[in-house]
């Protein structure tokens, strides 16, 4: 006869829910009953825990054992409850004193040999645990660094169930401590200096970075679209603490975090292939939905190369999250929400034959215009900058220009511009947002409205129907980014002219 309960955490998406694992040992036919909505993996916990307990030198009680996970209505999944189940059993069978487990949250999977194995989602789980009476968390060694980013809870590691129990019995001194944190390599790789020629494309990339603008790159294969896209994250500002914790939590749940990785500080980069499924792109999967590339790119860059080749329904699924910065995924087990605030980079060949030189194109004119026309208006509506890339001439390739600029210098200007914009819009009561996030209506009203002498050409284009009101607003937003990069107070006529060129790009 015996009863024990151990604290644990269940995750629904990024949200941790506190769970109590109860064990009750009773006289009766030896068997194990597990209740509380377990999924298949959790159901197998019974076998894992039994082997781990026995192989760690403990006794398996040959009695009737009931394991219950509360609250019963909360869907639970995965193997992270293993250690809590084992400890509850050991306390209930009086092999471990109950005092050792007070204020303890154990998280991790058990191997059959009794070793602790890493699990996903430790960071968001511990963020929920610290809201309770928990004072100490014990996790597998591989999860230690990730766990250490949660403030307000002591974090220790253990290699095995035996080491965990011995460590607790010895006052915790033998448990593993958090390894000294690795410095985030503040490098700026891949370097924009690797891109030869393409000066106007590099300039557009810098403006996109400064204002958080979405961008559409059109150009023949081999012109460097992917190379450019990969060089956007290093010139974007580093994530602040809150952003870094959110991004790290998402990567942790997706199993995309390396053991030695600290908080993700660099803007993420995701480049899903055009054959990617709906689940891979926006999130999904069986049971409780996992984040897709869209959420893995949160606070960073989502790059869709060869965008006309993506499935239409997959692209359409991006529209709503791009609007609200969040994706909701409905599953039988409930709705899961993941953040999805991304900077979108689209790229396409000018036509289906993808000839390297325009003169080699074999496409019929109708096929050419249909190709990019396949992209839905609402998606292109989210794009501020349109950029057409031309092949670099042989002369430019061979020419070694002096004073080629590196990403570090560009990143410095981008950071200054971002700060100027955030301070300005925050002062105006819009929040510390980027230029791309400010509504066009606000920009065209007092006190942000620019004088006619500055907006003249754009006004004329709007009045004559050459651009839409939305297009006009995009030009204003880009112009503010150009002005921020130059360190000026207000956009001038030249800023408007450059912005207009970037807006019209391949529509000219
Ligand atoms: Zn063609």
Domains 2-169 and 241-392 share a fold: no
Q: By the 8 A CB rule, do 189 and 160 touch?
A: no
**Of 137, 135, 138, 134, residue with least CA distance to 164:** 138
Helix crossing, 199-211 with 469-486: angle to 10°?
Answer: 100
Distance 430 CA to ligand 1 centre (A): 45
Distance 354 CA to ligand 1 centre (A): 5
Distance 358 CA to ligand 1 centre (A): 8
pLDDT of amino acid 507:
45
Distance 216 CA to ligand 1 centre (A): 19
Residues in the chain: 508
> Could you list the pLDDT tens digit for every one of the 508 residues in the chain?
799 999 999 998 899 999 999 999 999 899 888 888 677 777 788 889 999 999 999 999 999 999 999 998 888 888 889 999 999 999 999 999 999 999 999 999 999 999 999 999 999 999 999 888 889 999 999 999 899 888 899 999 999 999 999 999 998 778 999 887 665 667 899 999 999 889 999 999 999 999 999 999 999 998 999 999 999 999 999 999 899 999 999 999 998 887 777 789 999 999 999 999 999 999 988 777 899 999 999 999 999 999 999 998 999 999 899 889 999 998 777 789 999 999 999 999 999 988 888 888 889 988 888 888 878 677 887 899 999 998 887 777 777 666 789 999 999 999 999 999 999 999 999 999 999 999 999 999 999 999 999 999 999 999 999 989 999 999 999 999 999 999 999 999 999 999 999 998 744 3
Distance 224 CA to ligand 1 centre (A): 18
Alpha-carbon gap, residue 374 to 402, rounded angstroms: 42
Q: Map 392-410 to HEC letters.
A: CCHHHHHCCCCCCCCHHHH
Distance 171 CA to ligand 1 centre (A): 72
pLDDT of amino acid 73:
85
Name the 3-class secondary structure at 50.
helix
Distance 359 CA to ligand 1 centre (A): 9
Name the 3-class secondary structure at 460.
helix
Distance 384 CA to ligand 1 centre (A): 26
Distance 281 CA to ligand 1 centre (A): 28
Distance 348 CA to ligand 1 centre (A): 12
Distance 387 CA to ligand 1 centre (A): 18
Angle at 31 (CA atoms; ends 26, 33), nearest 5 degrees: 85
Alpha-carbon gap, residue 364 to 371, rounded angstroms: 11
Distance 134 CA to ligand 1 centre (A): 63
pLDDT of amino acid 426:
97
Distance 355 CA to ligand 1 centre (A): 6
Given CATH 3.30.230.10, say whether it is the number of domain 2-169: yes
DSSP string, 199-262: HHHHHHHHHHHHHT--EEEE--TTSSHHHHHHTSGGGSPPP-HHHHHHHHHHHHHTT---TT--
Distance 221 CA to ligand 1 centre (A): 11
Distance 307 CA to ligand 1 centre (A): 16
Q: By the 8 A CB rule, do 5 and 22 touch?
A: yes
Distance 217 CA to ligand 1 centre (A): 17
Distance 17 CA to ligand 1 centre (A): 54
Distance 119 CA to ligand 1 centre (A): 48
Q: Does a cis peptide bond (omega within 30 degrees of 0) precede residue 71? A: yes
pLDDT of amino acid 508:
38
Domain ranges of the chain: 2-169, 241-392
Distance 371 CA to ligand 1 centre (A): 10
Distance 385 CA to ligand 1 centre (A): 23
pLDDT of amino acid 187:
84
- The CATH classification number of 241-392 equals 3.40.50
Distance 236 CA to ligand 1 centre (A): 34
Helix crossing, 407-427 with 469-486: angle to 10°?
Answer: 120
Distance 457 CA to ligand 1 centre (A): 34
């Amino acid at each position: 006869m015996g009863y024990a309960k151990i604290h644990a955490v269940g995750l629904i998406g990024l949200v941790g829910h506190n769970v109590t694992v109860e064990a009750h040992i009773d006289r009766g036919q030896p068997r194990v009953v597990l209740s509380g909505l377990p999924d298949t993996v959790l159901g197998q916990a019974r076998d894992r825990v039994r082997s781990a307990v026995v192989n760690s030198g403990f006794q398996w009680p040959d009695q009737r054992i009931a394991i219950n996970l509360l609250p019963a209505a909360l869907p639970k999944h995965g193997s992270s409850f293993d250690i809590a189940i084992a400890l509850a059993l050991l306390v209930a069978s009086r092999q471990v004193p109950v005092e050792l487990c007070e204020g303890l949250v154990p998280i991790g999977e058990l191997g059959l040999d009794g070793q602790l194995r890493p699990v996903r989602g430790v960071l968001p789980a511990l963020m929920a645990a610290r809201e309770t009476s928990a004072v100490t968390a014990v996790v597998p060694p591989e999860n230690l660094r990730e766990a250490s980013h949660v403030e307000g809870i002591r974090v220790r590691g253990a290699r095995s169930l035996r080491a965990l129990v011995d460590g607790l019995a010895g006052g915790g001194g033998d448990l593993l401590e958090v390894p000294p944190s690795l410095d985030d390599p503040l490098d700026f790789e891949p370097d924009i200096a690797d891109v030869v020629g393409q000066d106007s494309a590099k300039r557009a990339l810098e403006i996109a970075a400064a204002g958080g603008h979405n961008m559409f790159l059109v150009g023949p294969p081999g012109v460097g679209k992917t190379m450019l896209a990969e060089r956007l994250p290093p010139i974007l500002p580093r994530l602040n603490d809150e952003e870094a914790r959110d991004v790290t939590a998402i990567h942790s749940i997706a199993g995309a975090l390396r053991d030695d990785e600290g908080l993700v500080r660099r803007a993420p980069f995701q480049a899903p292939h055009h054959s990617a499924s709906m689940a891979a792109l926006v999130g999904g999967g069986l049971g409780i939905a996992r984040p897709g590339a869209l959420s893995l790119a949160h606070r960073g860059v989502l790059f869709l190369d060869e965008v006309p080749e993506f499935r239409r329904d997959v692209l359409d699924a991006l529209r709503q999250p791009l609007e609200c910065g969040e994706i909701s995924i409905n599953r039988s087990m409930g709705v899961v929400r993941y953040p999805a605030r991304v900077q979108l980079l689209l790229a396409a060949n000018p036509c289906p034959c993808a000839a390297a030189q325009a003169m080699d194109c074999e496409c019929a004119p109708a096929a050419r215009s249909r190709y990019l026309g396949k992209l839905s208006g609402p998606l292109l509506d989210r794009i501020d900058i349109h950029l057409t890339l031309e092949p670099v001439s042989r002369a430019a390739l061979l020419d070694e220009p002096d004073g080629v600029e590196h990403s570090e210098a560009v990143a410095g200007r981008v950071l200054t511009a971002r700060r100027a914009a955030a301070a300005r819009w925050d002062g105006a009561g819009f929040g510390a947002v980027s230029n791309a996030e400010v509504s066009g209506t606000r920009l065209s009203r007092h006190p942000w409205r620019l004088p006619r002498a500055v907006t003249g050409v754009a006004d004329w284009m709007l009045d004559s129907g050459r651009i839409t009101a939305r297009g006009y607003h995009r030009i204003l937003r880009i112009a503010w980014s150009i002005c921020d990069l130059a360190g000026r107070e207000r956009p001038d006529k030249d800023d408007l002219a450059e912005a207009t060129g970037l807006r019209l790009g391949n529509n000219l």
